[in-house]
Each structure stands twice: as structure tokens, then as C-alpha cells.
């Protein structure tokens, strides 16, 4: 039997409990509740930032409100680039319904194979882009499939209505709508605007279920109006493309400038590309050759040297220059003309494109004067246009020139220019001997120029340029129906290694129209023609003729000739 214990007889239990102890226990419990309440108030009311952030991380999101990129317009308001909203397809891979039939249809709509689609769905469990910026019709077909875990989001896609004709002017943007080439890159900040934001609560499917009310409105990019005329641009591009293909050339470029304002009316290159369909692009297509390529311009330099001699009164248009016997030795080097011309006037030196006549006149002048004149028209200096990659060309300091180098520079060897620089320099003769800055943006109002030659000298050189396209000149193919024109041919061997390639040439033509009151300056370059003809008068002058006729009609310039010009077929072969 267990022994019974009398608990009530225990001395410990029988002793009375002190009153203070029970009060202490009750007070401790009350203080604990007060502490917990205070902590709750502190966390939820006074210092709730940390916990608020932690909570928001789990359910609140900041959505970007993309700004609409500004449009690029031509001088007449024609759209060259604009943005449209299009769907982009994304997925939560762990939620995707893997029904083979639906996935096969999805892959076909996205333009990818099943292995490619499956790989994308395996890359990430929570989020993956399947394809960005698809056509609206494709987005609707994908939505109609109602595949669980597949979603869409609106993004802006850039469109280029003028296609490859204006590609090197406008450029393009990347998938993030940031400018990568051309004016899209040069004015990316102005066109791009500033994105806004919106705070929302999202569910696990990525859907916004509640607006938190915190919103910053986007600031759309501003429109950009260029100096380009879309019609002139199209005609110029088609002309240079046709010439490159006809002469089986490597490439070609053309620039059309407004003589009055310095505005670039057209800038085209071939090969080109379609800005919004950039598939298998290469460097040859992307290069804006009119600005990034420099070359020795050949005889197109002669009018500047002759103009300087006229301006300093060393010669007059009727001054006689002996070019016989067709060769001139300077030091250990000999320069020559393609034909022995004998005695020529200064007018005829330009008309016949005599290297010897130009060199003899150049050697009458200090090298410093030639260098200063070349510099004043922009040679050796980067063109002041907002294009990335524009080159300055090459013009060595005059102190290093030897007599033979000064002579060869007078007819375009030993210095290099871009086609844009050449076209810009020729506006000097179209104006009253002054030159105005270039502009890729539309200009309103008169533009002040820098005086280089006397106005009478500019007029005298224009007359010489007109002789070039007439009977006995080197470029009768530059003649234009209804308009008087003038210009200068240039044909230069291409540099290769430390010398010149024997059978690689650039054919160039630069000129003005109408010749008595010029409105436009046009420069054309054909790189490596290989179809039998390579002189500038044969490959580049016809492009000038076509472009001038179309451009002046677009600009509303009335014809200044009523008789069809007689094209001379037995043209004098130009000198290099």
C-alpha cells in the first residue's frame, strides 16, 4: 500500500504567501503586455518604413510608363520615322501549359522551332521574353490560343516609311528604343523623352490588381524636323543605286545641298539597308560613306586653286598657260596630262582638266595661301553636322609641303576629303564667294556666310565649270534638260598599301545648277566601277544630271533653258 501524504500539513504550503509577490507577478504580466503593445505601435505606426519596404518587395511593383519617342520629319512634314505600339510576348515558364499542339502553333507564330521555344521556357522559371515587338496580327493569334502562362505587353516599335532610301540619314533604334545610327543616335536624348512610372500591386501571375496611386507621367520625346526633302532623297538614292549596279561598282554616294542655306536636301549611299528589317547586316551596308569615307578627290580640286589665283590677281581667265609637251618634271617626279594640249587659257585649263596647267599656276603661289584657302572651305576639318563618325579628311600642314606635293595637291592628290566636304566646298562658287555652315535641320531665315573669294571670282569660276559640261569639256553627260549646269570631274586611282592600285578608281563629279543663279550643289562618287568605264565624266556625271533635273523640279525652280542641250559624244578624256 502506498503511503498517504498529507499535503495540507506541509509546513511549506501551510506558510502564508506574501502579498507583494502576487502584485509583482501581476505587474510584470501587465508590463509585458504594455511592452508588446508599444512595440506593435512602434512597428506599425511610428517606424514602419523597413517592414513596409519588406512587404512591398513581395507584392508592390513599379511599372515603367514608356515615353513615346518623337517623330523624325522631313522639311515638308513627311514622316521619316515614328513609333507604334505593338505586343511583346513573355511567359512564366513554370505556369505554362505544355500542350504539344498549342506549343507547336505558338512556335510557328513566333517564327522559331520547337527546340528553340523549349530552350527559352527552360531558361528561367519565373520570367522569360519569348519574342519582342511582334506584329499586331501575330499578337491577336497568340492571344486566341489562350495558353496558360503566356502573356503580352505593349511596347513601342520604330517604323521607317522611306525604307532604304533614307536609311543612312535617319538611322535606327535598338529593341530598347535607343538610337544606334544616324539622326536617331545623334538626337537620341531629344527624341527619347523621359519615361514615367506607376506603383501597383501585382498578383503572382504578374497582373496589376491595385493601383497604389503613385504615378509620374512620361514626357514624350520632341519631333525632329530635318532639312532633308524626302522626294529629293528618294530620287538621289535611286540614281546612285542605278549607277552602282550599271557600272558594277563597289559602292557609291551622293550629296545634295541647298546653296542658299547650307541645308542638306539629300544624302544617300549604296549599298543600303531597310532600317526596320535589319537581317544579316554588314559593315558595307551600314557605312555612311558620304561622311565616314575620305578619298583623294582628283581634278575636282582644280577650281579652288584657279579661284585662288584669280582672287590674288596672279592670273585672269584669259591668261595663257603653256602645257606642252604634256609632261612636267618637278624634282625627280614627272606629272602629265592625258593629252598634250599646248597653250591653254585659264578657262581652258579647267575645261580640259589640265594637270600641268593647274600645277604651274599653283606653284606661283606660296604653300601657305593654298593651305589657308583649303582650310577656309572646310578641308582638313570635321564637318559640323551631328553625325557620328564624320571624318575630317587629311590636309597636312603647309610647312611640310614639297614643290611636287603642292603641285599634286592642286589636282587632288596628296590630300583627302569626304563627299560631304566636297559638296559643301562647291557651294562657295554658287554663292557670292562666301560659304555658309552645313545643317541637317531645317533652317528658317537668312544665313550669314564667311567670305573666301571675291564675288566676281565666284562668277568667273562658275563660267569655267559651265565650259566643262559643254563641247570640248570633260563632262557633257552632266548636261540637264531644261537647266544650265556646271561642274568638275575627278578621277583618282585608289590608294593601296604604300602606293596606288593600277586598275582601281573613284569617279567623282561635283557641280552646281542652275549655273547663273545656283540653287543646289551636288557631289557624286562612284567607288571602283568595273564595267569598262571609270572616268568621273562617264560614271558620276550622269547621276548628277538626273538628280539635278528631278531636284530642281521638286523645289519649283523654273527651267532656264528652252533648247535641248546637244550632248557631245566625243568628249575629251579628263586628266587625273
CA distances (Å), 206 to each of 2, 195, 256, in order? Answer: 72, 21, 53
d(CA 380, CA 415): 8
Mean pLDDT of 194-209: 64
pLDDT computed for residue 62 by the predictor? 65
Residue 207 has phi, psi (to 5 degrees) of: -95, 135
Label the pairing between strands 450-451 and 486-496: unpaired
pLDDT in tens, 431-462: 989 999 999 999 988 888 999 999 999 999 99
d(CA 104, CA 490): 60
pLDDT in tens, 262-306: 999 999 999 999 998 887 888 889 999 999 999 999 999 999 999
Tell me, yes or no, whether 206 and 347 share the same domain: no
Instruction: Output the average pLDDT for the chain.
Output: 88
Give residues with Cβ within 8 angstroms of 435, minimum separation 6. Answer: 376, 377, 378, 424, 425, 427, 428, 449, 450, 452
Tell me, yes or no, whether 381 and 508 share the same domain: yes
pLDDT in tens, 219-269: 888 999 999 999 999 999 999 999 999 999 999 999 999 999 999 999 999
CATH number of the domain to which 124 belongs: 3.90.1310.10
Domain membership flag for residue 54: no
Q: Which of 225, 252, 276 is the last residue of a domain?
A: 225
pLDDT in tens, 315-373: 999 999 999 999 999 988 999 998 889 999 999 999 999 999 999 999 999 999 999 99
pLDDT computed for residue 497 by the predictor? 75
Domain membership flag for residue 537: yes
Domain membership flag for residue 13: no
> Which three cell numbers, joined as nine digits, stand for 98?
505544355
Whole-prediction pTM value? 0.83
Mind giving me the DSSP string for 238-300?
Answer: HHHHHHHHHTT-SEEEEEEEETTT-BEEEEEEES---TT---S--HHHH--HHHH--B--GGG
161, pLDDT greater than 80? yes
pLDDT in tens, 87-140: 999 888 888 888 888 889 999 999 889 988 888 888 777 788 898 888 889 989
- Residue predicted with more confidence, 570 or 521: 521
pLDDT computed for residue 15 by the predictor? 66
Mind giving me the DSSP string for 443-481?
Answer: --S----EE-S-HHHHHHHHHHHHHHTSTTSS-GGG-BT
Tell me, yes or no, whether 216 and 312 share the same domain: no
Catalytic residue, chosen from 299, 338, 353, 484, is 299
pLDDT computed for residue 414 by the predictor? 93
What is the band of 206 on the pLDDT scale with cuts at 50, 70, 90?
Answer: low
213, pLDDT greater than 70? no
> Which three cell numbers, joined as nine digits, stand for 388?
557620328
Angle in degrees, 0-180, between the axes of helices 419-430 and 455-468, rounded to the nearest 10: 120
Domain membership flag for residue 332: yes
Domain membership flag for residue 325: yes
> Which three cell numbers, joined as nine digits, stand for 267?
544624302
d(CA 431, CA 260): 7
C-alpha atoms less than 13 angstroms from C-alpha of 220 in its C-beta half-sphere = 10
pLDDT computed for residue 64 by the predictor? 65
Q: Quick check: helix, strand or coil at residue 38?
A: helix
What is the band of 37 on the pLDDT scale with cuts at 50, 70, 90?
Answer: confident
What is the band of 486 on the pLDDT scale with cuts at 50, 70, 90?
Answer: very high
Tell me, yes or no, whether 155 and 245 share the same domain: no
pLDDT computed for residue 502 by the predictor? 81
d(CA 536, CA 369): 28
Tell me, yes or no, whether 242 and 217 share the same domain: no
Mind giving me the DSSP string for 88-147?
Answer: EEEE-GGG----HHHHHHHHHHHT--HHHHHHHHHH-SS-EEEESS--HHHHHHHHHH--
pLDDT computed for residue 421 by the predictor? 97
Contact status, residue 83 vs residue 158, Cβ threshold 8 Å: yes
d(CA 264, CA 178): 24
The number of beta carbons lying within 10 Å of the beta carbon of residue 126 is: 11
Tell me, yes or no, whether 164 and 292 share the same domain: no
Domain membership flag for residue 25: no
Tell me, yes or no, whether 186 and 236 share the same domain: no
CA distances (Å), 427 to each of 234, 289, 453, in order? Answer: 22, 20, 12
CA distances (Å), 419 to each of 73, 165, 557, in order? Answer: 24, 18, 25
Domain membership flag for residue 47: no
Backbone CA torsion sign across 524, 486, 366, 354: positive
d(CA 380, CA 371): 10
- Residue predicted with more confidence, 205 or 473: 473
> CA geometry: angle at 149 spanning 146 and 153, to 5°?
85
pLDDT computed for residue 40 by the predictor? 82
d(CA 385, CA 92): 47
Q: Dihedral through CA 136, CA 142, CA 148, CA 150, nearest 10?
A: -50
What is the band of 204 on the pLDDT scale with cuts at 50, 70, 90?
Answer: low
- Residue predicted with more confidence, 173 or 19: 173
Mind giving me the DSSP string for 142-176?
Answer: HHHH--TTEEEEEEEEEE-TTGGGGHHHH--B-TT
41, pLDDT greater than 90? no
Structural domain that includes position 447 = 230-554
The number of beta carbons lying within 10 Å of the beta carbon of residue 353 is: 34
d(CA 556, CA 570): 33
Residue 574 has phi, psi (to 5 degrees) of: -75, 155
d(CA 100, CA 372): 75
Domain membership flag for residue 493: yes
* Catalytic residue flag (residue 82): no
pLDDT computed for residue 280 by the predictor? 80
Instruction: Name the β-bridge partners of 382.
Output: none
Tell me, yes or no, whether 355 and 482 share the same domain: yes
Tell me, yes or no, whether 291 and 367 share the same domain: yes
pLDDT computed for residue 564 by the predictor? 53
Strands (E), 368-440: 434-435
CA distances (Å), 229 to each of 80, 258, 557, in order? Answer: 10, 11, 15
d(CA 395, CA 525): 20
pLDDT computed for residue 336 by the predictor? 93
pLDDT in tens, 386-403: 888 899 999 999 999 999
pLDDT computed for residue 7 by the predictor? 55
pLDDT computed for residue 12 by the predictor? 60
Tell me, yes or no, whether 369 and 435 share the same domain: yes
Mean pLDDT of 518-546: 96
pLDDT in tens, 55-95: 665 566 666 677 889 999 999 999 999 998 899 998 888 88
What is the band of 576 on the pLDDT scale with cuts at 50, 70, 90?
Answer: low
Tell me, yes or no, whether 169 and 284 share the same domain: no
13, pLDDT greater than 70? no
Contact status, residue 310 vs residue 461, Cβ threshold 8 Å: yes
Residue 134 has phi, psi (to 5 degrees) of: -90, 165
The number of domains in the chain is 2
Q: Quick check: helix, strand or coil at residue 384?
A: coil
Q: Which of 190, 225, 260 is the last residue of a domain?
A: 225
CATH number of the domain to which 443 belongs: 3.40.710.10
Q: Which of 225, 253, 285 is the last residue of a domain?
A: 225
Contact status, residue 476 vs residue 460, Cβ threshold 8 Å: no
570, pLDDT greater than 60? no
Tell me, yes or no, whether 187 and 241 share the same domain: no
Amino acid at each position: 500500500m502506498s503511503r498517504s501524504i498529507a499535503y495540507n500539513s506541509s509546513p511549506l504550503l501551510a506558510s502564508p504567501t506574501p502579498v507583494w509577490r502576487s502584485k509583482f507577478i501581476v505587474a510584470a504580466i501587465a508590463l509585458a503586455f504594455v511592452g508588446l503593445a508599444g512595440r506593435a505601435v512602434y512597428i506599425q505606426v511610428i517606424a514602419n518604413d523597413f517592414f513596409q519596404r519588406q512587404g512591398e518587395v513581395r507584392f508592390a511593383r513599379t511599372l515603367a510608363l514608356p515615353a513615346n519617342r518623337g517623330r523624325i520629319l522631313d522639311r515638308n512634314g513627311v514622316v521619316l520615322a515614328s513609333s507604334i505600339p505593338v505586343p511583346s510576348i513573355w511567359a512564366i515558364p513554370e505556369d505554362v501549359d505544355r500542350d504539344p499542339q498549342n506549343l507547336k502553333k505558338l512556335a510557328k507564330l513566333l517564327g522559331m522551332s520547337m527546340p528553340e521555344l523549349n530552350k527559352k521556357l527552360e531558361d528561367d522559371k519565373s520570367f522569360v521574353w519569348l519574342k519582342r515587338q511582334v506584329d499586331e496580327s501575330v499578337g491577336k493569334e497568340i492571344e486566341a490560343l489562350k495558353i496558360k502562362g503566356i502573356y503580352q505587353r505593349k511596347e513601342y516599335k520604330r517604323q521607317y516609311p522611306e525604307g532604304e532610301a533614307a536609311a543612312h540619314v535617319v538611322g535606327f533604334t535598338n529593341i530598347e528604343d535607343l538610337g544606334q545610327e544616324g539622326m536617331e543616335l545623334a538626337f537620341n536624348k531629344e527624341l527619347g523623352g523621359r519615361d514615367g512610372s506607376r506603383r501597383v500591386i501585382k498578383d503572382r501571375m504578374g497582373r496589376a490588381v491595385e493601383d497604389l496611386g503613385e504615378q509620374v507621367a512620361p514626357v514624350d520625346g520632341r519631333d525632329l524636323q530635318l532639312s532633308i526633302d524626302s522626294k529629293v532623297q528618294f530620287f538621289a538614292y535611286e540614281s546612285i543605286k542605278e549607277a552602282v549596279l550599271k557600272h558594277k561598282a563597289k559602292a557609291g554616294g551622293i550629296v545634295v545641298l541647298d546653296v542658299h542655306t547650307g541645308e542638306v536636301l539629300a544624302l544617300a549611299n549604296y549599298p543600303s539597308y531597310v532600317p526596320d528589317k535589319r537581317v544579316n547586316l554588314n559593315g558595307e551596308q551600314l557605312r555612311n560613306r558620304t561622311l565616314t569615307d575620305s578619298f583623294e578627290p582628283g581634278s575636282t580640286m582644280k577650281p579652288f586653286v584657279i579661284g585662288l589665283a584669280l582672287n590674288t590677281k596672279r592670273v585672269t581667265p584669259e591668261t595663257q598657260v603653256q602645257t606642252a609637251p604634256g609632261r612636267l618634271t618637278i624634282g625627280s617626279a614627272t606629272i602629265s596630262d592625258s593629252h598634250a594640249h599646248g597653250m591653254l587659257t585659264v578657262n581652258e585649263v579647267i575645261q580640259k582638266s589640265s594637270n600641268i596647267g593647274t600645277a604651274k599656276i599653283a606653284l606661283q603661289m606660296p604653300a601657305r595661301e593654298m593651305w589657308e584657302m583649303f582650310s577656309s572651305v572646310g578641308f582638313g576639318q570635321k564637318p559640323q553636322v551631328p553625325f557620328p563618325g564624320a571624318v575630317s579628311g587629311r590636309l597636312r600642314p603647309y610647312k611640310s609641303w614639297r614643290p611636287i606635293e603642292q603641285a599634286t595637291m592642286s589636282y587632288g592628290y596628296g590630300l583627302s576629303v569626304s563627299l560631304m566636304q566636297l559638296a559643301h566646298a562647291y557651294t562657295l562658287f554658287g554663292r557670292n564667294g562666301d560659304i555658309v555652315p552645313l545643317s541637317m535641320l531645317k533652317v528658317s531665315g537668312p544665313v550669314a556666310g564667311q567670305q573666301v573669294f571675291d564675288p566676281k571670282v565666284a562668277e568667273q569660276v562658275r563660267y569655267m565649270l559651265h565650259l566643262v559640261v559643254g563641247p570640248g569639256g570633260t563632262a557633257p553627260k552632266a548636261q540637264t534638260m531644261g537647266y544650265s549646269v556646271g561642274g568638275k570631274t575627278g578621277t583618282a586611282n585608289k590608294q593601296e598599301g604604300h602606293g596606288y592600285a593600277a586598275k582601281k578608281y573613284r569617279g567623282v563629279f561635283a557641280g552646281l545648277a542652275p549655273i547663273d543663279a545656283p540653287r543646289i550643289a551636288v557631289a557624286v562618287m562612284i567607288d571602283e566601277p568595273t564595267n569598262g568605264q571609270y572616268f568621273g565624266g562617264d560614271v558620276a556625271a550622269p547621276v548628277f544630271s538626273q538628280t539635278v533635273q528631278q531636284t530642281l523640279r521638286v523645289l519649283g525652280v523654273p527651267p532656264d533653258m528652252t533648247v535641248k542641250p546637244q550632248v557631245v559624244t566625243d568628249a575629251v578624256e579628263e586628266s587625273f
